[in-house]
């Protein structure tokens, strides 16, 4: 009898701890966070200082003497 109770308790604990996936609200928060990160990254990459640094790096790479 004690074994049946112990097995039942372990099964309940296993079901309580199980995490089968994200809920809809977690998907929504994750999607919003990903979009916000993408927007910030886009603004940084397309900013004037970064664009000029990338252009000068590309120009130096193309003008390299071999």
pLDDT per residue as tens digits for the range 4-42: 888 888 877 776 665 566 678 888 999 999 999 999 999
Say if residue 63 is exposed, middle or buried (CB neighbours under 10 Å; 0-12, 13-18, 19+): exposed
Q: Taking a C-beta distance cutoff of 8 angstroms, is the pair 22, 30 a contact?
A: yes
Q: Which residues contact 50 (CB under 8 A, 6 or more apart)?
A: 44
Is the pLDDT reported for residue 45 higher than 80? yes
Amino acid 19: pLDDT: 59
Does some domain include residue 31?
yes
Q: Is position 13 within any domain?
A: no
pTM above 0.75, yes or no: no
Residue 4 exposure: Cα atoms within 13 Å on the Cβ side: 1
Tell whether 16 is covered by a domain: no
How confident is the model at residue 3, as a pLDDT? 82
- How many domains would you assign to the chain? 1
Strand, helix or coil at 47? coil
């Amino acid at each position: 009898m004690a074994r049946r109770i112990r097995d039942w308790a372990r099964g309940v604990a296993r079901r309580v701890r199980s995490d089968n996936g994200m809920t809809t609200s977690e998907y929504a928060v994750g999607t919003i966070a990903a979009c916000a990160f993408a927007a910030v990254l886009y603004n940084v990459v397309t900013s004037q200082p970064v664009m000029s640094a990338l252009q000068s790096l590309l120009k130096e790479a193309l003008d390299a003497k071999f």
